[in-house]
Amino acid sequence: MGNQLQGGHGLPLLFGVMGDPISQTKSPAMHSAALAAAGLTGTYVPLHVRPEQLEDAIKGIVALGYRGVNITVPHKVDVMKYVDVIDEAAKQIGAVNTIVNEGGLLTGYNTDGIGYIRSLKEEAVPDLSGKHVLVIGCGGAARGIVYALLKEKPGSVVIANRTAAKAQELADEWAHLGPISACGAGELERVLQEGHIDIVINTTSVGMYPNMGELPIPAELLSPHMVVSDLIYNPLKTELLVRAESIGCRIHNGLGMFVYQGAYAFEYWTGRPAPVEAMRAAVLSSLQ
Ligand code: ATR
């Protein structure tokens, strides 16, 4: 990939992010900073794509010569119908957030889960092997994270969900991938007190702006030895993280997940190491 870094005929490389809505996205700020820091001539734009136009928009990637795009809400599942190849992890997770255009062949990847795990390892827990992890929620975000987490050989992964049956379905689906189980809200207390949990990860939107006072689990169930991680990055410190920090837990927020999912996408598109710190700085300044 490294020697194909131009859009053809000296044109800039083209990138974008497709979603609906899309005006709130921080990806253009982050990737523009990445391209500049890497010394590449390119442009990354927000693309407002409504669901009924998704198929045409994906064809447009090839027609317009885009090198790659990110896919965000609500298209991550539906887009799988329109790409040529789906990476194995994205297939298992059931969602694509990154497309690479290799000479007209579109390949779909999921960088959310691996992005989160890279962030967790670099910023909070360098070695996840043998760790006991509680994951709260089992939607699309949780699927990416749990899939990537199981590759790290954890001691156990317990998925807790408001709708317990959904957590059980996921645990059954991926039982062959590692030590995974499910629990309902009523079993949380037992799991957190007896399950030797090292890491708690909130994947739900509970606590996200503007509902910032809400907690996905009762804070009394946390212990100081736990690392508490929240996928949310607006606010940077959710009520869960505030409460966890106040009892002495190490905390980790969702900013790194956003940065590293973008870093993996950048690396797939360009074949170059992503300038992660420039990307993080750009996101932070766009949040202010
Ligand atoms: P995402 O792609 O962000 O993961 P999703 O697929 O809609 O979004 O999944 C949201 C997850 O957060 C689900 O596990 C959901 O629980 P249910 O399966 O019971 O719906 C969980 N969730 C969302 N809002 C919640 C709330 N207020 N309390 C508890 N769990 C919540």
What ipTM does this complex have?
0.96
- Per-residue model confidence (pLDDT) at position 270: 97
pLDDT for 80:
98
CA of 88 to the centre of ligand 1 (A): 25
Mean pLDDT over 86-98 rounds to 98
Q: Residue 60 Cα, ligand 1 centroid: separation in angstroms?
A: 32
What is the mean pLDDT of the segment spanning 190-207?
A: 94
Same domain for 163 and 104, yes or no, is no
Q: Which atom of ligand 1 is nearest to the CA of 214?
A: 27
Shortest-distance atom of ligand 1 to CA 163:
19
Domain span including residue 106: 2-110+257-287
Give yes or no: residues 43 and 104 share one domain. yes
d(CA 171, ligand 1 centre) in Å? 16
185 band by pLDDT with thresholds 50, 70 and 90 = confident
**How far is it, in rounded angstroms, from Cα 240 to Cα 217?**
8
Q: Are residues 139 and 45 in the same domain?
A: no
Of the pLDDT bands very low, low, confident and very high (cuts 50, 70, 90), residue 1 is: very low
pLDDT of amino acid 3: 39
Same domain? 26 vs 155: no
* CATH code, domain carrying 132: 3.40.50.720
pLDDT at 2 (0 to 100):
40
Residue nearest ligand 1's atom 27 by CA: 206
What percentage of the chain reaches a pLDDT higher than 70? 97
Annotated binding site for NADP(+): 88, 161-166, 231, 254
Q: Is 145 helix (H, G, I), strand (E, B) or coil?
A: helix
Centre of ligand 1 to C-alpha 103, Å, is: 38
Q: Is 166 in the pocket of ligand 1 (CB under 6 A)?
A: yes
Per-residue pLDDT tens over the stretch 114-147: 999 999 999 999 999 999 999 999 999 999 999 9
| Total number of domains in the chain | 2
Q: Residues 55-82: what's their mean pLDDT? A: 98
Show the beta-strand stretches assigned E in 97-225: 98-102, 105-109, 132-136, 156-161, 180-184, 199-202
Kindly tell me if the per-residue pLDDT of 69 is higher than 90.
yes
Residues 206 and 151 in one domain: yes
Q: What CATH number does residue 13 fall under?
A: 3.40.50.10860
Give the tens place of pLDDT for each residue, 5-32.
666 677 899 999 999 999 999 999 999 9
- Average confidence (pLDDT) over 28-52: 98
Atom of ligand 1 nearest to the CA of 162: 19
Q: Is the pLDDT of residue 77 over 50?
A: yes
Q: 227-230 and 250-252 as β-strands: parallel, antiparallel, unpaired?
A: parallel
Is the shortest distance between the CB of 141 and ligand 1 below 6 Å?
yes
Could you tell me if 105 and 118 lie in one domain?
Answer: no
Q: Which of 76, 81, 153, 237 is catalytic?
A: 76
**Residue 152 and residue 125 share a domain:** yes
The reply to whether 49 and 163 lie within a common domain is no
pLDDT above 90 as % of the chain: 93
76 an active-site residue? yes
Q: Are residues 220 and 278 in the same domain?
A: no
pLDDT digits (tens, 9 = 90+) for 228-255: 999 999 999 999 999 999 999 999 999 9
42 lies in the same domain as 152: no
Residues 97 and 119 in one domain: no
Same domain, 133 and 248: yes
Phi, psi of 184 (to 5 degrees): -95, 175
Query: Measured from the CA of 138, which atom of ligand 1 is nearest?
Result: 14
Instruction: Name the pTM for this structure.
Output: 0.94
Tokens of residue 2, six digits: 């490294």
Predicted confidence at residue 194, as pLDDT, reads 85
Residues making up the binding site: 25-27, 72, 88, 97, 112, 161-166, 231, 233, 254, 261
* Helix ranges restricted to H, 25-163: 27-37, 54-64, 88-93, 112-123, 140-150
Burial of residue 120, with CB atoms counted within 10 A of its CB: 0-12 exposed, 13-18 middle, 19 or more buried: buried
